[in-house]
């Protein structure tokens, strides 16, 4: 998966030639040695957020121009063009009193991950997009920087997520495709906990082992040690 930075959105939306050049420089120059599956045009752009509202007008035309370039370069069978949404677009859920209570036909929820996924599925269905595939473009748990941000919690989340996505959610009990928030810690992010989502420290040392939870899951290991992250072979 490769993302389009905010700084390129306007040019991509207004200049089809720039979109072709962007795909050439960032995708075709590395393909097929690097296997791309998705191009995410924009990341969590919110219409009501002062920092990102000006970009909302560019998301769809930028996606269309990128898609045209991908199709022209005959990459459309292997690369999908989409965007990464902010979950607040679905509606208010916090505090709970601000949300809308619905009856889910007997479906039960034990974790926020499932509730968020199924809320998105339900929203897509109401908008006529129920057949769209949803990919979790980033998920994880920080190991420091905030409340409950410990190595143990991060390890538990990452390990159990692998098993959990194999069975899906109450609404759609089928395998999910998901990606970690970060491979390495990133010291330039803020607030503090955003710096600690990596599976590795910045010096490439692994934080913890999650291999034991991956046995039989179809994930291809990157090495023989038990203290490393495991990546699918086509990421």
**Annotated active-site positions, please?**
44, 138
- State the Cα–Cα distance between residues 214 and 19, nearest whole angstrom: 38
User: What SS3 class is residue 177?
Assistant: strand
What does the radius of gyration of the chain's CA atoms come to, in whole angstroms?
Answer: 19
Give SS3 for 137: strand
- Residue of 36, 41, 39, 40 whose CA lies nearest to 78: 36
CA angle 115, 120, 122 (to 5 degrees): 95
- Evaluate whether 206 touches 215 at the Cβ level (below 8 Å): no
Tracing tokens 């930075």 back to the chain, one arrives at: 5
DSSP state of 80: E
Distance between CA atoms of residues 178 and 137, nearest Å: 6
- Is residue 77 classed exposed, middle or buried when 0-12, 13-18 and 19+ CB atoms within 10 A define those classes? exposed
Instruction: Please name the helix (run of DSSP H) or strand (run of DSSP E) that holds residue 42, with its range, or none.
Output: strand 38-43
């Amino acid at each position: 998966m490769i993302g389009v930075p905010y700084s390129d959105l306007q040019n991509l939306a207004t200049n089809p030639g720039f979109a072709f050049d962007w795909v050439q420089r960032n995708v075709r120059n590395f393909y097929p040695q690097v296997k791309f599956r998705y191009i995410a045009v924009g990341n969590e752009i919110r219409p009501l957020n002062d920092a990102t509202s000006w970009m909302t007008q560019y998301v769809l035309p930028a996606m269309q121009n990128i898609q045209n370039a991908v199709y022209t370069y005959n990459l459309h069978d292997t690369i999908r063009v989409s965007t990464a949404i902010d979950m607040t677009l679905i509606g208010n859920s916090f505090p709970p009193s601000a949300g809308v209570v619905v009856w889910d036909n007997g479906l039960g929820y034990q974790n926020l991950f499932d509730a968020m996924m199924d809320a998105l599925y339900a929203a897509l269905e109401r908008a006529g997009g129920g057949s769209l595939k949803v990919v979790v473009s980033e998920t994880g748990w920080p190991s420091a920087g905030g409340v409950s941000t410990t190595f143990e919690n991060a390890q538990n989340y990452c390990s159990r997520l692998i098993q959990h996505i194999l069975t899906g959610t109450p609404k759609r009990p089928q395998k999910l495709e998901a990606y970690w928030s970060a491979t390495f810690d990133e010291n330039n992010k803020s607030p503090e906990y955003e710096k600690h989502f990596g599976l590795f420290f910045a010096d490439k040392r692994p934080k913890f082992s999650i291999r034991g939870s991956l046995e039989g899951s179809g994930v291809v290991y990157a090495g023989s040690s038990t203290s490393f992250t495991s990546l699918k072979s086509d990421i």
